[in-house]
Structure 1
Amino acid sequence: MTRVLTGRDGQSFTFDPGAFCLELLLTGGPGKYAYWEILHTPDDLADWLQDSRLAAIAPLDDLRVRPAELRAVKAFRDTMLSVALALAHDRDLPAGALETINDAAGPVPRPRIDPATGRRTWVGPVTGTQILGAAAHEAIDLLTGPHRDRVRECAASNCLLLFVDTSRPGKRRWCSMERCGNRNKVSAYRTRQT
């Protein structure tokens, strides 16, 4: 599932983080990630989720997020950011991070088949706690699965995006070939021409 992002330069590009727990990192975070913070109210999270990997599985029509749930999702996101950075740079995981992820692994949205349409839907209302549970369950799968060593930070020096490299050879370096990969190719070409 790809998202269309727009950089500070106004250029739009597609980006696939490879996992919902990493897709949450697109909403901001601590430190230098605070510039990108978009989760100020529960409605902000509900709006953002409409284009998420979860919504690609089934529409999130009946979504209810309380302020405490938003705070919990943001705390999980910030922990996941520190975990993803540690994995991407082959460092030890931050102290307490695994406990935070484990504690968040609660209930998840329940799927169902709509009898009228035959399509997959979620049993509503879907809560912020269930969103948090879905992200935590996926983080546990990522941290204990075959792609643990494939969490990457974009190789561009001015890009902060993190993703799971699900490519067959495991050689993905860029958040997007449309953006950072292309910029690198242009820069390398110009360097060779001089």
Structure 2
Amino acid sequence: MTDERAPGLVLHSPGGTRFHFDPGALCLELLPTGGPGPYARYEVLHRPADLAGWAGESRLGLPPGAVRITAGQLTAVRTLRDALWRLAAARAAHGAATGDAGDPADYAVLNRAAARPPLAPQIAPDGTAAPPLPGDGDQLASTVARDAIALFTGPWADRVRECGADNCRLLFVDTSRPGRRRWCSMERCGNRHKVRALRARREQHEE
């Protein structure tokens, strides 16, 4: 169901800088499209075509026309995304600790979406993954929700992190072997931290 590109998304900072962001899971790739509360100003899923475009840019790598999406299904996916934002943020703040991992209402949204059939995977004659059969927005939501359930109940449940930069709230799952990933992207927040640290050392040396 995936293509051969490096996993992750190309995002744009408020200043217009492009950077690669791999959150480590399909469900977390949906979060930068907008979200609840203060994240609503970043909304990009205005039309069904916008969601179809995200499905192509995500690690699903779906070709145009692979998913038929209605206006109602788009609304349902946005509701799912907002619930995922809150659940993932709770995991980042509290780990997988019982009682601190999110609102039951958000889990109910997740479970309802996952209860529907997901996109059906396909295999090409050469043995490689092929695009799924044409599906709909409910199947896309189910695929994302099932990925989230696998993340939240799996071995990486306590590795959901928030970027370490003060002004960045992007969430990712740290799948690195040492478990020390701090930044959403070294291209953006990691490099900015290095520049600030270097500047601070130089200023200290000049005093």
Assess same fold via TM > 0.5.
Answer: yes
2:118 corresponds in structure 1 to: 108
The answer to whether 1:77 aligns with 2:86 is: no
The alpha-carbon deviation at position 35 of structure 1 amounts to: 1.8
The alpha-carbon deviation at position 114 of structure 1 amounts to: 4.0
In structure 1, how many angstroms separate the alpha carbons of the residues matched to 2:32 and 2:90? 17
The answer to whether 1:126 aligns with 2:135 is: yes
Give runs of aligned pairs for residues 40-119 of structure 1, distance below 5 A. 40-55=46-61, 59=63, 61-90=65-94, 91-105=100-114, 106-115=116-125, 119=128
The correspondence for 1:22, drawn from 24, 28, 31, is 28
Task: Show structure 1 runs of 5+ residues with no match.
Answer: none
SS at match of 1:130: helix
How big is the alpha-carbon RMSD for the aligned residues of Structure 1 and Structure 2?
1.6
Residues 27 and 8 (structure 1), Cα distance of their counterparts in 2 relative to 1, 3 Å cut: same
Q: Which moved more, 1:21-30 or 1:60-69?
A: 60-69
The alpha-carbon deviation at position 31 of structure 1 amounts to: 1.7
SS at match of 1:10: coil
CA contact (8 A) 2:183 2:190 kept: yes
The alpha-carbon deviation at position 102 of structure 1 amounts to: 1.2
The alpha-carbon deviation at position 119 of structure 1 amounts to: 4.7
What is the TM-score with the length of structure 2 in the denominator? 0.87
Residue 161 of structure 1 aligns with an amino acid whose one-letter code is L
The correspondence for 1:182, drawn from 176, 191, 206, is 191
Residue 81 of structure 1 aligns with an amino acid whose one-letter code is W
The alpha-carbon deviation at position 189 of structure 1 amounts to: 1.2
CA contact (8 A) 1:84 1:151 kept: yes
In structure 1, how many angstroms separate the alpha carbons of the residues matched to 2:154 and 2:129? 27
Residues 25 and 78 (structure 1), Cα distance of their counterparts in 2 relative to 1, 3 Å cut: same
SS at match of 1:89: helix
CA contact (8 A) 2:8 2:29 kept: no
In structure 1, how many angstroms separate the alpha carbons of the residues matched to 2:70 and 2:103? 28
What is the TM-score with the length of structure 1 in the denominator? 0.92
Task: Show structure 2 runs of 5+ residues with no match.
Answer: 1-6, 95-99
- Matched length: 191
Overall identity of the aligned pairs, in %: 50
In structure 1, how many angstroms separate the alpha carbons of the residues matched to 2:67 and 2:183? 33
The answer to whether 1:170 aligns with 2:179 is: yes
In structure 2, how many angstroms separate the alpha carbons of the residues matched to 1:101 and 1:34? 20
In structure 1, how many angstroms separate the alpha carbons of the residues matched to 2:154 and 2:171? 17
Residue 102 of structure 1 aligns with an amino acid whose one-letter code is N
In structure 2, how many angstroms separate the alpha carbons of the residues matched to 1:34 and 1:154? 19
